[in-house]
Amino acid sequence: MATTDLQIGIALPQVFPDGAVDLGLIRNFVTRAEALGYHSAWVQEQTMGGTATLEPLDLLNYVSAFTDTIRLGVSVLVLPLRNPIHLAKRVSTIDQLSSGRLTVGVGLGGGLDSYPAYGINPEARVGRFLDSVRVMKALWTEPVVDHEGRFYRLEGGRMEPKPAQKPHPPLWFGGRHPDALRRAVRHGDGWMGAGSSSIADFREQTALLRGYLEEEGRDPATFAVSKRVYLAIDDDEARAERRLAEWFGHYYGNPDMASRVSIWGSVDRITEAVRELEEAGARHLLLNPMFDHMEHLEALSQLARS
């Protein structure tokens, strides 16, 4: 690697296409990731769907009990579909139980189809999102909360304990639209590019982000920039691409998406892509293998230690 500044995170085993949840794999994976020096271990959210996928915050709570130093992150929670009061409490609890190791990613989500199932109007999702952010920050930082928002109202609201991190766990926003990038700069502590975007997309988005940071007078050094990277290490590139397509078919229902957004091939090819992303502005990367988890963990560890 060109520098030692890039932080490398790794996605936890969370999705089990065969339906058999492997707790031993999760435990071995995260304890080994911590020993290898990975910066952070991450989960993502998919509540509805036919593939066995563990709830992200419950999984982070589980792994916090047998880790000590590795940071824990979720990217991203679909915030408008969650109650911000309950979520603020859960985040505070996990941050306390992990001794202040939590990073929380939030976003609008990729589609509108699920909103009716939650009884929520998707047309107001941006307003609900921002109101939720304000409620959570207030509950994390203020002894008594009086909040009069469009969607949530608190009068004399109290929540203890506060998170271990002050003023609160880092909030990283997702999204790729320019408006989403502006929201990240105005209201968040960082931004994570989607795994469903290419390196070229990421380069364009970080260029916009730098402009918005300057407009808002924010110091780029205090704002995290990250990206999820779906990948597969295999010298047999055709086999890797086929296995990626199978996983994307299970999880997203779209096997063709794999070839558009993933990186596959040798360790050298993955390292080259990581270098490109760093040059484009990434200061943190979430590497996301979908199978052969322990093998990928070991093979990618050279990046975490670079």
Bridge partner residues of 9 (DSSP) = 40, 286
Helix (H) or strand (E) holding 157: strand 153-157
140-162 residue pLDDT tens: 999 999 999 999 999 999 999 99
Question: Collapsing DSSP states into helix, strand and coil, what is residue 104?
Answer: strand
The CA-CA-CA angle for residues 170, 251, 232, to 5°, reads: 80
Domain spans in the chain, listed from the N-terminal domain onward: 7-305
* pLDDT tens, residue by residue, 206-258: 999 999 999 999 999 999 999 999 999 999 999 999 999 999 998 888 999 99
CATH topology of domain 7-305: TIM Barrel (3.20.20)
Side chain identity, residue 53: T
Write the DSSP string, 240-259: HHHHHHHHHHHHTS-TTHHH
The pTM of the full predicted model, rounded to 2 decimals, is 0.95
Q: Are 12 and 54 in contact (CB under 8 A)?
A: no
d(CA 185, CA 171): 11
Q: Which residues are CB-contacts of 179 (< 8 A; sequence separation ≥ 6)?
A: 126
Q: Is 225 helix (H, G, I), strand (E, B) or coil?
A: strand
